[in-house]
């Protein structure tokens, strides 16, 4: 999952970047509204965290412009505690949820994960497709109840495919969401990782959970199941 953090307080911005990266996000950062707007328009994001009080362009203005430009990814705003007007204005501008400062990282993470799940049409943190279960909180994967050991990159690919199970995801999109801008990108790596995922999830080649659509990308094709 690729996240943008727009926050002018350096310490908070850097700590959010490090903590989100530590939980498997690819993170872009911006330190004012102008940079944030550029990143929000140009990068293939899954979610954005935007502080409302920003230099150059306000957080509200950034959100309005992103929504006006047709960007639909979930946006979480950071607001001052007890300032209900900020929260209302932020939500009216197009934000999906908010966290008041100061906050615990775990709360922000839980809200981000909930936004991402809902954007993918999932109600519960456990994504279940056929016999494959992916737990977005524990970051574990099981097939028929037996845990499957995955590397960080393998997990990220599977989470992305399962959050949008049934949709075709291009190789370019997967590559962009796995690596931030400084990282060398190579779509052959995606092919290798998907091949390994298939062998780990489906060693006897009977489930065929991940389809390859020639020239278009991949699709997680096992039927979604409602979870409790
Ligand atoms: Ca600020």
Residue 37: pLDDT band with limits 50, 70, 90: very high
Q: Mind listing the pLDDT tens digit for each residue in 155-182? A: 989 999 999 999 999 988 888 877 765 5
Helices (H) and strands (E) in the chain, counts: 8, 13
208/218 Cα distance (integer angstroms): 12
Q: How far is the CA of 32 from the centre of ligand 1 (A)?
A: 9
Q: How close is the Cα of 50 to the center of ligand 1, in Å?
A: 9
Measured in Å, residue 11 CA sits from the centre of ligand 1 at: 11
pLDDT value of residue 181:
53
Centre of ligand 1 from the C-alpha of residue 10, in Å: 10
The answer to whether 35 and 6 are in contact (CB under 8 A) is: yes
- H or E stretch at 146: strand 146-148
* pLDDT tens-place string over residues 84-118: 899 999 999 999 999 999 999 999 999 999 999 99
Residues 108, 99 contacting (CB under 8 angstroms)? yes
User: Ligand 1 centre and the CA of 91: distance in Å?
Assistant: 17
- pLDDT the model gives residue 137: 85
209 vs 185: which has the higher pLDDT: 209
Does the global pTM surpass 0.75? yes
Crossing angle of helices 152-163/171-178, nearest 10°?
130
Give buried/exposed letters for 55-64 (b at 16+ CB in 10 A, else e): eebbbbbbbe
User: In the chain, what are the domains?
Assistant: 2-119 (3.40.50.2300), 126-220 (1.10.10.10)
What is the Å distance from ligand 1's center to 208 Cα?
Answer: 48
Q: What is the pLDDT of residues 115-146, one digit of tens each?
A: 999 998 898 889 999 999 999 888 999 999 99
55 C-alpha vs ligand 1 centroid, how far in Å?
8
Strand duo 217-220 + 210-213: pairing: antiparallel
Separation between Cα atoms, residue 92 and residue 105, nearest integer Å? 25
pLDDT tens-digit readout, 68-87: 999 999 999 999 877 889 99
Question: What integer pLDDT is reported at residue 210 of this predicted model?
Answer: 97
Q: How far is the CA of 39 from the centre of ligand 1 (A)?
A: 17
Report the alpha-carbon distance of residue 189 to residue 203 in Å, rounded: 20
Q: What distance in angstroms lies between residue 168's CA and the mean position of ligand 1's atoms?
A: 38
How far away, in angstroms, is 219 Cα from ligand 1 center?
40
In this prediction, residue 98 carries a pLDDT of: 95
Query: Residue 119, CB half-sphere, CA atoms under 13 Å: how many?
Result: 20
Q: How far is the CA of 76 from the centre of ligand 1 (A)?
A: 14
**Mean pLDDT to the nearest integer, 46-55:** 96
Distance from Cα 161 to the centre of ligand 1, integer Å: 34
Q: What is the pLDDT of residues 179-200, one digit of tens each?
A: 765 555 677 888 999 999 999 9
Mean pLDDT of the chain: 92
| 199, 208 contact by CB (below 8 A) | no
What pLDDT, on a 0 to 100 scale, did the predictor assign at position 180?
A: 62
Q: How far is the CA of 159 from the centre of ligand 1 (A)?
A: 32
**What is the reported pLDDT for 166?**
94
Instruction: Give dist(CA 26, CA 195) in Å, integer.
Output: 22
């Amino acid at each position: 999952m690729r996240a943008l953090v727009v926050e002018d307080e350096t310490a908070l911005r850097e700590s959010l970047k490090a903590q989100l990266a530590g939980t498997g996000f690819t993170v872009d950062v911006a330190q004012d509204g102008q940079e944030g707007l550029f990143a929000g328009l140009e990068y293939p994001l899954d979610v954005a965290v935007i502080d409302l009080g920003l230099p150059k362009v306000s957080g509200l203005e950034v959100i309005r412009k992103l929504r006006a430009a047709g960007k639909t990814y979930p946006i979480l705003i950071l607001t001052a505690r007890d300032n209900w007007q900020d929260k209302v204005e932020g939500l009216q501008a197009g934000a999906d949820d908010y966290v008041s400062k100061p906050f615990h990282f775990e709360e922000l993470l839980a809200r981000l994960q909930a936004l991402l799940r809902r954007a993918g049409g999932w109600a519960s943190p456990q994504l279940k497709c056929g016999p494959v279960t992916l737990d977005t909180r524990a970051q574990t994967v099981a097939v028929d109840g037996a845990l499957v050991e995955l590397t960080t990159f393998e997990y990220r690919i599977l989470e992305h495919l399962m959050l949008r199970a049934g949709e075709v995801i291009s190789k370019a999109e997967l590559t962009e969401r796995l690596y931030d801008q400084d990282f060398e990108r190579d779509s052959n790596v995606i092919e290798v990782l998907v091949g390994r995922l298939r062998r780990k999830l489906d060693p006897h080649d009977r489930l065929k959970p991940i389809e390859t659509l020639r020239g278009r990308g991949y699709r997680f094709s096992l039927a979604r199941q409602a979870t409790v």
